[in-house]
Chain A
Amino acid sequence: EAGVAQSPRYKIIEKRQSVAFWCNPISGHATLYWYQQILGQGPKLLIQFQNNGVVDDSQLPKDRFSAERLKGVDSTLKIQPAKLEDSAVYLCASSLVHSGNTEAFFGQGTRLTVV
């Protein structure tokens, strides 16, 4: 079974530029998460989708971050404009059902550096 795929693996941009990350979850997984992991910290949720609907985006900085999950499969996360403090690893995860009792599987992450 293929895992969660993310691209790109690394991205370096200047502040005020825009960037987009892509995630392809495990086939059949209805729930998709985007987490932000700052160096030395645990992952923090940005947004959670159930199919193509948003379940929780309370911690998403909506003035600069946006995310979509068209057709309930792939998802993109965008930052526009980027700030220095956005430097982090962006992790995508998926789980089979919207239960919270089911394992979440993570991708390799995209390491973003804002200079």
Chain B
Amino acid sequence: GENVEQHPSTLSVQEGDSAVIKCTYSDSASNYFPWYKQELGKGPQLIIDIRSNVGEKKDQRIAVTLNKTAKHFSLHITETQPEDSAVYFCAATHTGNQFYFGTGTSLTVIP
């Protein structure tokens, strides 16, 4: 099955700085890569996703890049704010399959 690795496990940044979280996957058949934000006591919330026919996608302060050849994808958050503090999970899947999640990154934005 698919194996998704995520780094770093913890990340602290100053408010206004950028944050980058990286994930790698093993199954070349994976073609959909969502990112989830999980706040304390809540379920994961989809914040952005990318499909394998696209190399980059941006939504306001959040962007995701995908390198299919190297089998890695990254989440970029610019101009971080305290409300960005949460645990972020990457995931990978392909048609008809389950979602495989990374181990999570705990992001702390220091005011």
| Interface secondary structure of A, over-half rule | loop
Q: Number of A interface residues, CB 8 Å?
A: 25
- Knowing A33-B98, A45-B99, A48-B98, say if A100 contacts B45 (CB, 8 Å): no
Question: B31: CB under 8 A from chain A?
Answer: yes
Interface residues of B in 82-108 (CB under 8 A from A): 89, 91, 93-99, 101-104
Interface string of A1-13 (1 = CB under 8 A from B): 0001010000000
* CB nearest to A107 among chain B residues: B43
Of B32, B34, B43, B46, the residue contacting A91 (CB under 8 A) is B43
Check A103 against B49 for contact (C-beta < 8 Å).
yes
Contact surface of A with B, Cβ cutoff 8 Å = 4, 6, 33, 40-45, 48, 55-56, 91, 93, 98-101, 103-109
Distance A16 CA – B104 CA, assembled complex (angstroms): 31
Q: Which residues of B contact A42 (CB under 8 A)?
A: 4, 6, 89, 91, 101-104
- Knowing A42-B89, A43-B44, say if A103 contacts B98 (CB, 8 Å): no
Q: Number of B interface residues, CB 8 Å?
A: 27
Q: Which residues of A contact B96 (CB under 8 A)?
A: 55, 98-100
Q: Which residues of A contact B44 (CB under 8 A)?
A: 43, 91, 106
Distance A103 CA – B94 CA, assembled complex (angstroms): 12
Check B89 against A43 for contact (C-beta < 8 Å).
yes
Of B41, B43, B102, the residue contacting A106 (CB under 8 A) is B43
Of B42, B43, B94, B101, the residue contacting A100 (CB under 8 A) is B94
* CB nearest to B42 among chain A residues: A108
Question: B51: CB under 8 A from chain A?
Answer: yes
Cβ contacts A to B, 25 pairs, < 8 Å: A6-B43, A33-B98, A40-B104, A41-B103, A42-B89, A42-B102, A42-B103, A42-B104, A48-B98, A56-B98, A98-B96, A99-B95, A100-B93, A100-B96, A100-B97, A101-B31, A101-B51, A101-B93, A103-B46, A104-B34, A104-B99, A105-B46, A106-B36, A108-B41, A108-B42
